[in-house]
């Protein structure tokens, strides 16, 4: 018995003296500062799911939200959080990118007005000012929504508010804004005692699309780290759905600025929109949206989906 006990102590000593297995490093550029849209990534980090998958993941917020996909295309980061519409436009411009996963599988973009203002329906936008931040896609989105109501972009005055969406609406600078994320702007306006009303693109003639996706450089699409990364993100997403309070506690750990009323409300509104299977791909959905962008004149041709969106093997 003493010999067995001694052998056990020796084995335990050997195990504790062995070096820990090296973690594969992986860099992820976010699309914006950390917010509830990124919950699966942050929770996977905080709960050790990336570590369990043999990954050392760094999450970095960009100085400029336009930079992450370009940085990945140039080899400066492994993965970027991006947007399905942006990906299709950038691939048409020959940026070597490919979608490898999905974070948020429904549109978040919306047209928002003041609930107690004069705009009750989209038809009421005729002759009014609409604020936007990104020319091109947001114009196309708004144009399609207006056309369903018998209007066109010529019936409104577009004003570039440079990402100052809610403030420009609350100040009276514009009568509506396009590009407002329904999980944030509506909550911010409610908190400021000026509740808003949203019109949803997917209900007004725009094909549904994935709002937030994960993109990588095209020639790295089958990097073996990505499959483990996506499995950890899926694990985190299910953990969030099953344990929302514990997940939120992990999300705000060390980030007190995320534990305010706006982010708590946004957390609750974003949860149902996370992709339950981040690696899954609906190719038909991507084709439909590319056809929409072509019809709006934003791309010249619809490329085969497998050229810019894949299921990681």
Residue with tokens 């335990």: 12
Tell me which residue of 186, 164, 182 sits closest to 115, measured CA to CA.
186
Strands 157-160 and 129-132 come out as parallel
145 and 99 in contact (C-beta within 8 Å)?
no
- The model's pLDDT over 185-243, given as tens digits with 9 standing for 90+, comes to 999 999 999 999 999 999 999 999 999 999 999 999 999 999 999 999 999 999 999 99
**Dihedral sign (CA 188, 66, 79, 209):** positive
Q: What is the CA radius of gyration of the chain?
A: 22
Distance (Å, whole) CA 209 – CA 245: 28
Residue 225 has a pLDDT of 98
Class of the domain covering 24-106+210-307: alpha beta
Ramachandran angles phi, psi of 61, nearest 5°: -85, 140
- The model's pLDDT over 164-186, given as tens digits with 9 standing for 90+, comes to 899 999 999 999 999 999 999 99
- The model's pLDDT over 22-76, given as tens digits with 9 standing for 90+, comes to 799 999 999 999 999 999 999 999 999 999 999 999 999 999 988 999 999 999 9
Residues of the chain with CATH 3.40.190.10: 24-106+210-307, 109-203
What predicted TM-score, i.e. pTM, was given to this entire model?
A: 0.91
The CATH number of the domain covering residues in 109-203:
3.40.190.10
Residue with tokens 């109501």: 149
Residue 243 has a pLDDT of 98
Mean pLDDT of the 153-168 span: 93
102 and 69 in contact (C-beta within 8 Å)?
no
Distance (Å, whole) CA 141 – CA 56: 38
Q: What are the C-alpha distances in Å from 37 to residues 41, 177, 243, 268?
A: 9, 20, 17, 11
Residues near 156 by beta carbon (within 8 Å), at least 6 away in sequence? 125, 126, 127, 128, 129, 130, 142, 146
Q: What are the C-alpha distances in Å from 139 to residues 98, 133, 157, 210?
A: 25, 10, 11, 18
């Amino acid at each position: 018995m003493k010999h067995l006990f001694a052998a056990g102590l020796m084995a335990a000593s050997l195990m504790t003296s062995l070096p820990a297995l090296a973690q594969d490093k992986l860099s992820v550029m976010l699309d914006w500062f950390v917010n509830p849209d990124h919950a699966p990534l942050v929770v996977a980090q905080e709960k050790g799911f990336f570590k369990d998958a043999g990954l050392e993941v760094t999450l970095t917020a960009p100085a400029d939200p336009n930079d992450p996909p370009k940085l990945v295309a140039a080899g400066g980061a492994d993965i970027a959080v991006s947007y399905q519409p942006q990906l299709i436009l950038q691939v048409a411009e020959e940026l070597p990118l490919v979608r490898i996963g999905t974070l948020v599988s429904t549109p978040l973009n919306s047209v928002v007005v003041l609930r107690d203002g004069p705009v009750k329906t989209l038809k009421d936008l005729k002759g009014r000012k609409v604020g936007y931040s990104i020319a091109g896609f947001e114009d196309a989105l708004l144009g399609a929504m207006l056309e369903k109501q018998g209007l066109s972009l010529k019936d409104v005055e577009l004003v570039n508010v440079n990402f100052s969406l809610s403030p420009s609406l609350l100040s009276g600078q514009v009568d509506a804004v396009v590009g407002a994320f329904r999980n944030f702007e509506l909550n911010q306006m409610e908190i400021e005692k000026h509740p808003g009303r949203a019109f949803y693109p997917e209900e007004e003639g725009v094909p549904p699309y994935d709002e937030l996706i994960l993109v990588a450089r095209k020639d790295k699409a089958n990097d073996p780290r990505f499959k483990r990364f996506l499995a950890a993100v899926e694990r985190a997403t299910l953990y969030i759905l099953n344990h929302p309070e514990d997940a939120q506690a992990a999300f705000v750990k060390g980030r007190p600025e995320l534990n305010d009323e706006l982010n708590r409300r946004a957390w609750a509104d974003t949860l149902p929109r996370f992709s339950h299977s981040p690696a899954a791909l609906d190719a038909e959905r991507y084709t439909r949206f590319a056809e929409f962008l072509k019809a709006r004149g934003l791309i010249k041709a619809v490329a085969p989906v497998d050229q810019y969106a894949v299921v990681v093997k």
